[in-house]
Amino acid sequence: MLPYFIEMTTANEKNRQEALQGIDNHKRNLNKVSAVLVDRGYTGKPFSGGVEERIEASVTVAKQSELHTFSVIPQRWVVERSFGWREKCRRLWKNYEKLLNSSLHRVVLAFIRILLNRS
């Protein structure tokens, strides 16, 4: 599964607010989405309520294992697998780009490459 949209922001922005802004920006592409998978940074009623209000989708938090042993958590695995695919592109290991827009386009190109390799 590939992401429906990709948003990048500077480090001084609040993730929850920017995620809701990204949903607003890409609402026309999200009409078939019924569930949103997020990590622990997006917990809370303001975010989940904002998602439900905008695209009528439920929010599921994929928590990491509480134990100190390795175990595969199916929902979390989807998120980590996407990061792993992206890291196959050498220029995305570190942030070499000077402009935020350049970084965004590099990530988009990486996922296009993944998509082309799958077909």
Considering the domain boundaries, does residue 87 fall inside one?
Answer: yes
Residue pLDDT tens, the chain, 119 long: 567 887 777 777 788 888 999 999 999 989 889 988 887 888 889 999 999 999 999 998 877 666 566 666 667 777 677 777 777 776 665 666 677 777 788 788 888 887 887 76
Considering the domain boundaries, does residue 40 fall inside one?
Answer: yes
Considering the domain boundaries, does residue 26 fall inside one?
Answer: yes
Considering the domain boundaries, does residue 83 fall inside one?
Answer: yes
- When divided into structural domains, the chain yields a total of 1
Distance CA 94, CA 41 (A): 22
Considering the domain boundaries, does residue 111 fall inside one?
Answer: yes
Considering the domain boundaries, does residue 6 fall inside one?
Answer: no
Considering the domain boundaries, does residue 8 fall inside one?
Answer: no
Quote the domain boundaries for residue 89. 15-118
Considering the domain boundaries, does residue 4 fall inside one?
Answer: no
Opening angle at CA 41, ends 53 and 4, nearest 5? 55
Helical H runs in 12-99? Answer: 15-25, 45-55, 74-86
